[in-house]
Amino acid sequence: MKLIVGLGNPDDKYKNTFHNLGFMSVDKAAEKLGVSFNKEKCRAAVAELKVGAEKVIIAKPLTYMNNSGESVRELISFFKINPADVLVIYDDYDLFKGAVRIRESGSAGTHNGMRSILEHLGHGNFPRVRIGFKPTEKTQIPLIDYVLSGIKEEDKLTFNKAIETAANAACDFIKGETLQNVMQKYNTKA
């Protein structure tokens, strides 16, 4: 069984913000796979599908970003999923806008949602897809405000490409490609 988690905030006011790049990516993956988020389990909007004999859960935690770990821990526990079969997709200010980085494991960096997941799981030993949104130009906006700001019209193409890349990586992971292959195929530079 596999679990794909996109991080974000559930309210409409956050819909097109940097902090919802994870939600946007799993929405795109679900669309590609022909499934919809029509259930709620473990405090997450959930889409379910089968790939061969394997069940796949795609989830968007509804606990808000800073408490994402609560929902992720519940999903892993409820479905008895091995951490190596969990893929978390999220925004990352440590990467320049549009960059996509896939890793086998790691720390939370500056991301509060990932920090919550690491605290609730007690480790960072699970794959993740990071989508960069650090501006190439200087900004005076504090990070806490910047992550919740809207994606500018002139940057939409860049982020749509990054979302597409993240969704394709998730789909390949779901279909059984090794993480090494997924990394080689989809890791990008902005």
Tens digit of each residue's pLDDT (9 = 90 or more) over 86-127: 999 999 999 999 999 999 999 998 899 999 999 999 999 999
The H-or-E segment that residue 166 falls in is helix 156-174
123 is catalytic: no
- φ and ψ at residue 54, rounded to 5 degrees: -95, 130
List 19, 111, 120, 123, catalytic entry: 19
Give me the domain span that covers residue 67.
Answer: 2-186
* CA 147 to chain CA mean position, Å: 15
Tens digit of each residue's pLDDT (9 = 90 or more) over 50-82: 999 999 999 999 999 999 999 999 999 999 999
Report how many domains make up the chain.
Answer: 1
Cα separations in angstroms, 110 against 67, 91, 144, 164: 15, 10, 11, 24
**With bands split at pLDDT 50, 70 and 90, how would you rate the model's confidence at 144?**
confident
Q: What is the pLDDT of residue 190?
A: 57
CATH of the domain at 152: 3.40.50.1470
